[in-house]
Structure 1
Amino acid sequence: MIRSFIFILSCLVLISPAKAADYAYYGFEPSIVTNYVAVKKKMGYVRLTVELMIENSANYEVVEHHSPLLRDAIITIIGQQPEAKIKSINGRHEIQKLCEEKVKNLLTKETGKPLIKKLLFTQWLDN
C-alpha cells in the first residue's frame, strides 16, 4: 500500500512541470555613498552596493524607472542611522530590512505591487 502511494506520488511529481522562478537583479550604479552622524558630532560615511531581486524579469524596466526614488529612500534611511548600528552586523541587517520594507512600500504606492522579492547589500564599507 505504501509503496503504491509513493509510486503514484513520484509519478505526479514527474508529470507536473515545476514552474521555474523568473527573477532579475537590478543593481544601483554607481554605488551608494552617504554620510551618517558619528559620535562626537563627527561625520562618518558608508559606501554600499545594493541589488534588488525583482520577482518577474518583465518588471525590470519598471524598477529601473523608479530607481531614483528608491535610491533616495535608501540614502535617507542610512543617513538617519546611528554609528553603532552602521558598524554592527546586526545593525546592518536591521538597516537592510528597513530599506527593503521602504522600497516595497514605495513600489506598491507607485505601481500597485511591491515588484521585488529581496533587497540585498552586496558590499558595505564604512569608516
Structure 2
Amino acid sequence: MFRLLALCLLLAAPGTLSAQEETAAPAGPIYYTMTPDIITNYQNSGQNLGYVRVAVELMLERPEQLTVVEENMPLLRDALNDLLAEKSRQEIRSLPARAGLADEGRERLNELLLQETGQTPVRRLLFTTFLYQ
C-alpha cells in the first residue's frame, strides 16, 4: 500500500527543475531582425548605379548575445552597407553569388564584433528580402 501511495505521489507531482538546472540547459539560437532594411547603391554598368534593398536576419548563438548586437548596430549596418556597395551588378543579381555574399557578410560582422567585444555571435546572416534594380 505504501509503495502504491508513493508511486501515485511521484506521478502526480509536477516535474520541476531547480533554477540552477533551468539556467544550465542550453538555449537555442535566436534571430534578430535588422530594421530598417538596408538600402544602398552598387556599381551597375559604367557610370550607372544600381539600387539594392535587403532585409537582414541575424542568427545569434545565444540569447544573451542580443545586447552585443544591439549595442553595435550602427557599426554592423555600415559594414553591410559597404559590402553591398562594393559589389558589381553580376554579383548582386547572381543567386550563387548572393549565398556567398551572406557568408561574406557574416564573416565581416563577426570580425568587427570580435574587435569591439571579443565575441563572434553571428552564426548565420540571412537575406529575407533581396530587391535590386
TM interval, short-chain normalised = 0.7 to 0.9
* TM-score calculated relative to the size of structure 2: 0.78
The answer (yes or no) to whether the contact 2:27–2:63 under 8 Å persists in 1 is: no
Q: Mapping of 1:67-86 within 5 angstroms?
A: 67-86=73-92
Residues of 2 paired with 1:119 and 1:103: CA distance? 9
Which amino acid in 2 is paired with 1:54?
Answer: L
Give the letter for the 2:34 counterpart: F
**Which of the two has higher C-alpha Rg?**
2
Q: Which residue of 2 aligns with 1:24?
A: 30
Q: CA deviation at 1:21?
A: 4.1
1:26 and 1:64 in contact (8 A); partners too: no
Pair 1:87-2:93 in alignment = yes
Aligned residues: 109
Residue aligning to 1:12: none
Q: What is the Cα-based RMSD across aligned positions, in Å?
A: 1.2
Instruction: State the secondary structure of the residue aligned to 2:46.
Output: helix
1:91-110 alpha-carbon deviations (Å, 9 max, x no partner): 11121111110001111111
Residue identity opposite 1:78 in structure 2? L
* Alignment check: 8 A CA contact 1:32 1:48 kept: yes
The sequence identity of aligned pairs, in percent, is: 37
Post-superposition Cα deviations, 1:48-105, rounded to whole Å, max 9, x if no partner, equal 0011111110111111110110010000011010100101101111211111100011
Which aligned segments of 4 or more residues in structure 1 are displaced greater than 2 angstroms? 19-22
Unaligned runs of 5+ in 1: 1-18
What is the CA distance between 1:40 and its match in structure 2?
A: 2.9
> What TM-score, normalized by structure 1, do the two folds share?
0.81
